[in-house]
Amino acid sequence: MNLFHVWHQEAYQGTRRKRGYFEGWYLKLIDAPRKAVFALIPGVSIGKSEQDSHSFIQLINAVTGKTEYFRFALDAFSADRKTFDVRIGGNHFWDGGAEVNFQNETTQLSASLRFEHIEKYPTSLLHPGIMGPFSFIPGMECYHGIVNIRHTIVGSMTYQASVIDMTGGEGYIEKDWGRSFPQSWIWMQANHFSAQNASFLFSIARIPWLGTAFTGLICFLRTDAGFFRFATYNGGKVCALTVDGDRITATLKNATHTLDFTATYARGGILKAPKNGMMLREIEESITAEVAVTLMDHRGSIVFQDESSRVGMEIAGELSQLLSRPD
């Protein structure tokens, strides 16, 4: 394992020599009125042979649920090894912006965007990213990283010949890399609370490991009162988790706080996801879900209570694997 890359998770982690490998970055883009809701996912898929390998850009228009998969040659992909700076064909993505122009028979998108007031995920010696000490373990099927917790947007997009002013909007960037997505998972991410600067991420997944599997939790709530983590590696626990149709409720606890949330799934679009490096799996993602979050201290006093719209959410795989306390 390259320790430089452990500490620079936003950068490209792979090599062309790897087989059965994927890496992708997820850029969530929402305009100021919250009427335009898009995600761009540039990435690379390296299969068992050159013929099985390619780079790609996935596009989600969350308002309509329309998704597109734009396939490019593997040689069209290039990436900086020290920071997030990826090029696919003539399209450019980095932590401070995106310049894109691509189309197929039915869909056209161009954008010139700059990201400002960028907030990064806080790290420490044993916590180089959101996976904490698990970041140092080699050979896991999937790694997860946060590039920008939030940023503001300056610029515009042209989608299907309609110009969209994105200035004043907000965005978010994360990434995944490895061989395959987990067996099953629930993921949600929210920045659009009424409270300024609040951000929330929750993910629980069934993760293969050394011939068995364990249920892993990563969650954070960032508010003006502080940065609160609930994770397998810091003693965080899922005390309750239920899925009833489109409604998800959960209670999480760590050593000092309790977090409750109720989320409601909304219309989504179909994305391709990796299995052994190849984009063979299909999952559904919404970016128009909603979530209500309450954080309480050990005395039961409310530290934070708010609701967010335009929530990114995925529910995938066999959920019965998740509806119990993590191992």
With a CB cutoff of 8 Å and minimum separation 6, the contacts of 17 are none
Is residue 327 in a domain? Answer: no
pTM of the model: 0.96
Check residue 327 and give its pLDDT. Answer: 46
Single out the residue of 108, 190, 109, 118 nearest to residue 154, CA to CA. Answer: 118
Q: Report the domain count for the chain.
A: 1
Is residue 125 in a domain? Answer: yes
Is residue 235 in a domain? Answer: yes
Per-residue confidence band for 326, with pLDDT thresholds at 50, 70 and 90: very low
Which domain, by its residues, includes 12? 3-321
Task: Check if the beta carbon of residue 193 is closer than 8 Å to that of residue 201.
Answer: no
Is residue 326 in a domain? Answer: no
Residues in the chain: 327
Distance set, CA 226 to CA 7, 128, 197, 199, 289 (Å): 23, 19, 11, 11, 25
Mean pLDDT of the 34-42 span:
97
The DSSP secondary-structure symbol of 124 reads B
Spatial separation of the C-alpha atoms in residues 313 and 290, rounded to whole Å: 9
Sign for the pseudo-dihedral over CA of 242, 287, 217, 180: positive
The per-residue pLDDT of the chain, averaged, comes to: 94
Mean pLDDT of the 152-158 span:
98
Q: Give 49 or 112, the one with higher predicted confidence.
A: 112
Sign for the pseudo-dihedral over CA of 143, 41, 275, 55: negative
The DSSP secondary-structure symbol of 323 reads S
Check residue 324 and give its pLDDT. Answer: 55
Check residue 106 and give its pLDDT. Answer: 94
With a CB cutoff of 8 Å and minimum separation 6, the contacts of 212 are none
pLDDT tens, position by position, 189-246: 999 999 778 999 999 999 888 778 889 999 999 999 999 999 999 999 999 999 999 9
* SS3 letters across 80-100: CCCCCEEEECCEEEECCEEEE
pLDDT for 51 beyond 90:
no
